[in-house]
Amino acid sequence: MKVALFLKKITAIAAAACFVLSICGLSAFAQSASSSDKGQVIDSVYCEPMSVKDSFVPEQNIAVKQKTEETAVVNTGNKTAPTGIFGKITQAVKAAVSKVTKAVSNIFSKLGNAIKDLFSSTAEKKKKEQEAKYNAVVDELVKQSGLSREVVEKAFSQFDKDQLNKAIDVLSEMFKSRKDAQTQNPDLDPTQNPKGNIITCGLFALSAALNIPPGEAAFLALIADIKIGGFSEKSLDAGSNYGVTFQAQLEVLRAFGYEKPGIYTMPFDKFLSSMQPGESAILTLNLAIEGEKTSDGNNHSIAVKKEVNSETGKIQYVIFDDGVKSVYGEDEIAAVLSGQKTVSWGSGKQSATYNAVDKNGKINFVSVSNRIWVAPQTTATFAKENANVQNMLKSVIYLIKK
């Protein structure tokens, strides 16, 4: 509607401009005519035949008469204004031009205000829309993470405007898909909603390794990804769920005091022996659920922790998978992680297999440790610590624990 009004005013200005141009043309003509007649007799004068006697006029009177006949003027102060028909036309045209000029000036003024209002209204509308998205995103993050609004907004306050707006846009679309799934299936348990989740397998694994709630781990990893520029539309899987990056996991581990977390590729037969009791690893692997179509490659994450059984004194391995804890002995863990042993998976206790070993016989994982794991044919990546990310994470962790 505002755009239509804007176009109408443009049309009015165009018409007014054309009128002014035509008036100005007439004014120029009138002024030209007046100027060309200056110094000449304006009105025709009829002279009666004069006798020789009558024709004798003193020289001084002749000069006065000629001056009077040649130029008829009226006193206007310091200026002279032509009289007669063209003088009247000139004055009328000037008055008309003055009125039109004022009218056009008013139109331009109103048009300027209209343009200002249009842009101001558009900017205000966008601002309100962004504020509404922000509040909706914060509300959903509070709900999914279990953290307070104060914690969420404290973290968001540490992003620059561009970072925050981009993150809000992605999260808004992410949570919209979640809402749509709930609308399509009103009986769906919100905790089982397959869309728009910040807590995914990688975050369950991180939370288990750190022994903190999944929502807390997910939120910390999310804000780390936003801060380092790792969060975008590409961070979401096909279900619009958040996929944490390795670097975000490392940053969160550092914030909790782990000095040497790294991303490793290691021969599988060296992995279990390299791990020391009390240490954990976050593995990426292929999960194949019986009766379901399974994608090739790594599609899942779990946490594995090496422990000493307090009762038997024997080594055991604990697997944390989407919040479910399973314990395996030293003699069976290799078969479990290489896909040779079927396990009960998920809350429904479905049969499934894990396969963490690639075609080269190696395993990929993030170490949860204060030391570097050394083994033959092993490569490790230790991302440089980001001071800005660490300061943000530590301030948020402090607020959570307060």
Closest CA to 379 of 358, 399, 400: 358
Q: How far is CA 205 from CA 22, 214, 345, 367, 370, in A?
A: 81, 8, 15, 12, 18
Closest CA to 283 of 310, 301, 263, 268: 301
**DSSP-assigned beta bridge partners for residue 326:** 319
pLDDT, tens digit, 9 for 90 and up, residues 279-296: 999 999 999 998 887 777
Between strands 379-381 and 315-321, the pairing is: unpaired
Residue 215 has which token pair?
Answer: 């929502």
What pLDDT score was predicted for residue 235? 87
Q: How far apart are CA 163 and CA 169, in angstroms?
A: 10
Question: pLDDT-based confidence at 337, cuts 50/70/90?
Answer: very high
pLDDT, tens digit, 9 for 90 and up, residues 184-234: 888 887 777 889 999 999 999 999 999 999 999 999 999 999 999 989 888
Q: How far apart are CA 209 and CA 143, in angstroms?
A: 23
Task: Give the dihedral of Cα atoms 149, 155, 161, 163; nearest 10 deg.
Answer: -120
Domain coordinates in residue numbering, the chain:
1-35+82-137, 146-250+385-402, 262-381
Predicted confidence (pLDDT) at residue 100 exceeds the cutoff of 80: no
Q: How far apart are CA 224 and CA 209, in angstroms?
A: 17
Predicted confidence (pLDDT) at residue 62 exceeds the cutoff of 70: no
What pLDDT score was predicted for residue 155? 95
Decide: 240 and 173 in contact? Cβ < 8 Å.
Answer: yes
